[in-house]
Structure 1
Amino acid sequence: MKIQKEIIEFEDGKSFKLFSPSLKNCFFWHHHPEIELVYVEAINGIRHVGRDISVFTESDLVLIGSNVPHLNFDYGIQTECRQLVVQMRENFLQNTILPVPEFENIKKLLERSYLGLSFSGETKSIVIEKLNNIKDKNSFDSLIGLIEILQILAGSDEVKELNKEDTRIKWFMNDKIRMGTIYDYIHENYDKKPNVNEIAKIVSLSTPAFCRYFKKQTNMTFTDFVNNYRISQAKIFLLKDYSVTEVCFQVGFESLSYFNKLFKQHTGETPSEFRKKHLKNIEVRN
């Protein structure tokens, strides 16, 4: 479960590929020299790009730079999940964008994509519509469509930098800890009482060393990450017609008031408000 280098193959005569991967329970912690644009649609999931570990709700659109380690966005998702991924050839920036003065904004976008860029709002809506439109077009029209998408992203202010520093593969090369083991442990124990001493022992670290390592990797304490994961799982159960009280205890909280408080801190709404709003959206789509 060490970081793997993904070898990407392209069709002859094409500068990029657009496809819909499905890995689900496969932990694929990887990097590649190709710049990648990922759209994922699910009730919620985990986003792990470089050092950033966070959750998304409903959908996510992320531009990931060359050789930035990242986890497959459908890892651990047990509900319906849809993905569209664009991977651009390694020389796409140098050969396609840099020589053209009119692409200056796109050049700047791709050059800072090493931070991991998450897009939201109207930008995300417009881009996913355009991604769907170019799926079945010929090579020339699909390339023009991709350039339009990159221009939209380059001009958007609905963007969040996921990392504050360079997290390309050179930063991770000496990391021998198996993040997959930690993810699996949390997934198996989040509804019980995950024990930091136990997981530290599993990955062969002292507890203080593990805590330092985990904080460096995720910018969160182990307890904060577990609670974050519990809230993420709670969203799934809330949309499966469980009561708020049932969900609270099902994901490992022992206090309903603390669950409500933490859920609102993470999402901006109470569990009841979240369920009411998102169930209504699901009914509208159906």
Structure 2
Amino acid sequence: MKIQKEIIEFEKEKSFKLFSPSLKNCFFWHYHPEIELVYVKTSKGIRHVGKNISGFTDSDLLLIGSNVPHLNFDYGIQTECKQLVLQMKEDFLQDLILSTPEFNDIKKLLERSYLGLSFSGETKKLAVEKLNFIKDKNSFDSLIGLIEILQILANSVEVKELNDEDTRIKWFLNDKIRMGTIYDYINENYDKKPNVNEIAKIVNLSTPAFCRYFKKQTNMTFTDFVNNYRINQAQIFLLKDYSVTDVCFQVGFESLSYFNKLFKQHLGQTPSEFKKRYFKREELI
């Protein structure tokens, strides 16, 4: 579960690859020199890119820079999950994009990608349509399609930077703690009472040292992370039409009022409002 360098192989005479991976219960905390565009569609998921750990609902479109550590986006998801992953050769970017003045906007986009970029709204819709369109096209048409996708992303204001500092692999090389162990512990215990002393012992750290390490890695305290994980899981259960009260206790909260308060802090709406809005949208489709 230590961080791994992924070795990406490309077909001959291909500058990029587009495929649909499925890892599910595999914890693949990895990096690679190739820049990657990822589209993931599922009811609810968690993204971990660099130091950022956050949730998304329905779908996400991410541009992940060279050598930025990230977790596979279907890790731990028990519901249906579809992915499209596009990986670009290093020399393709160097030889074509970075050396061509007409691609200056795309060049700036790729230079920012080390922060991890999440796209939303019309940008996501258009980019995903083109991703699906180029899947079965010949090499030339798919290349033109990729350039168009990058131009759409480069001109978009519907984008969120996931990190506010450089998190490329140099930052992580001295990390000897297995983040996978921590993920698994939280996943198995979020509905009970995750104990910071217990997980600190599992990863061979004192409790104060673990708390410092965890805050440095995630920009969150252990308690905040567990609550964030619970809220993400709660959304999945709400989308399955469980009652708010059942979901509250099912994800490990002991107080309904605290659950409602925390849910609203995270999503700007109560669990009831979240559920009502979702099922109202379903009726209109």
Short-chain TM bin: over 0.9
Q: Could you say which residue in structure 2 is the equivalent of 1:88? A: 88
User: In the alignment, is residue 235 of structure 1 matched against residue 235 of structure 2?
Assistant: yes
Q: Could you say which residue in structure 2 is the equivalent of 1:14? A: 14
Q: Could you say which residue in structure 1 is the equivalent of 2:26? A: 26
Residues 273-282 or 158-167, more deviating: 273-282
Q: Could you say which residue in structure 1 is the equivalent of 2:147? A: 147
Gaps of 5+ in 2: none
Give 1:42's aligned amino acid.
Answer: T
Q: Could you say which residue in structure 2 is the equivalent of 1:135? A: 135
**What pairs up with 1:170-209 in 2 under 5 angstroms?**
170-209=170-209
- Superposition CA RMSD, Å: 0.9
Q: Could you say which residue in structure 2 is the equivalent of 1:162? A: 162
Distance in 1, matches of 2:6 and 2:78, equals 24
Deviations 1:243-281 (A, max 9, x none): 100000000000101101111111111111111222333
The Cα shift of 1:56 comes to 0.8
Distance in 2, matches of 1:284 and 1:83, equals 26
Question: 1:112 is paired with a residue of what secondary structure?
Answer: helix
Question: 1:191 is paired with a residue of what secondary structure?
Answer: coil
Residues 1-10 or 267-276, more deviating: 267-276
The Cα shift of 1:99 comes to 2.1
The Cα shift of 1:284 comes to 4.5
The Cα shift of 1:13 comes to 1.0
User: In the alignment, is residue 66 of structure 1 matched against residue 50 of structure 2?
Assistant: no
Deviations 1:23-73 (A, max 9, x none): 011000000010000010111111000111111111111100011000000
Distance in 2, matches of 1:275 and 1:106, equals 39
The Cα shift of 1:282 comes to 3.8
Give 1:203's aligned amino acid.
Answer: V
Distance in 1, matches of 2:212 and 2:184, equals 20
Give 1:265's aligned amino acid.
Answer: Q
Distance in 1, matches of 2:211 and 2:231, equals 21
Number of aligned pairs?
285
Distance in 1, matches of 2:206 and 2:215, equals 14
Give 2:169's aligned amino acid.
Answer: I
Q: Could you say which residue in structure 2 is the equivalent of 1:36? A: 36
Deviations 1:96-133 (A, max 9, x none): 10221100010111111111111111111111111111
Q: Could you say which residue in structure 2 is the equivalent of 1:76? A: 76
The Cα shift of 1:90 comes to 1.7
Deviations 1:198-256 (A, max 9, x none): 00000000000000000000000000000000000001111222110000000000010
The Cα shift of 1:143 comes to 0.5
Deviations 1:133-176 (A, max 9, x none): 11111110000000000001011111111111111111111101
Distance in 1, matches of 2:56 and 2:217, equals 19
TM-score by length of structure 1 reads 0.98
Gaps of 5+ in 1: none
The Cα shift of 1:7 comes to 0.7
Distance in 2, matches of 1:58 and 1:265, equals 20
User: In the alignment, is residue 216 of structure 1 matched against residue 216 of structure 2?
Assistant: yes
